[in-house]
Amino acid sequence: MDLQADKILILDFGSQYTQLIARRIRENEVYCQIVPCQTNISTLRELKPKGLILSGGPASVYGAKAPSCPHDILELGIPILGICYGMQWMTHELGGVVAPAQRREYGKAELLIDEDTDLFKEIRPTTTIWMSHGDRIERLPEGFRVIAHTQN
């Protein structure tokens, strides 16, 4: 039995929760590996992940030293989940619009699940989450849709 057959890679943008995300994936008996966000595309291909998670992080996609990862990851043909900064990076890379929030958000929030997709299949329709960010997504990239959102 290949324990790495369903490998998930987390591309780390500096989130304080990256280790917790990896632990939760592993608790579900899925192999998970954390790699730096700037890991080159050939290394990522060699690792043969079934999916990627782009972690959060403290930066803004418009910052002078904003972390990035190879644009080619978006063409690997595997599922990608962006969390906070990772989602903002993906939005920015794919032509969406990321803008500064009116105020920096930190702490508990309610996640409202709009569609019962595979990703959210066993999660309650309303669940408490933690968030920390200073930017927000103003316009999604073409072809994207909202399947969950936070309570404002």
Is residue 3 included in any domain, yes or no?
no
Domain with 134 in it? 8-150
Return left, alpha or beta for 104; rule: phi > 0 is left, psi -120 to 50 is alpha, else beta.
beta
Is residue 119 included in any domain, yes or no?
yes
Measured between alpha carbons, how far is 140 from 100 in angstroms, rounded to an integer? 15
According to the per-residue pLDDT averaged within each range, which of 63-67, 108-112, 136-140 is highest?
A: 63-67
Q: What is the pLDDT of residues 20-53, one digit of tens each?
A: 999 999 998 999 999 999 999 999 999 999 999 9
Q: What is the pLDDT of residues 83-129, one digit of tens each?
A: 889 999 999 999 999 988 777 666 677 877 777 777 677 777 787 77
Is residue 68 included in any domain, yes or no?
yes
Is residue 12 included in any domain, yes or no?
yes
* Nearest Cα to Cα of residue 12 among 89, 77, 74, 105: 89
Q: How many domains does the chain have?
A: 1
Measured between alpha carbons, how far is 97 from 76 in angstroms, rounded to an integer? 23
Task: Give me the CATH number covering residue 74.
Answer: 3.40.50.880
Is residue 101 included in any domain, yes or no?
yes
Measured between alpha carbons, how far is 12 from 149 in angstroms, rounded to an integer? 23
Q: Name the pTM for this structure.
A: 0.86
> What DSSP state is assigned to residue 58?
S
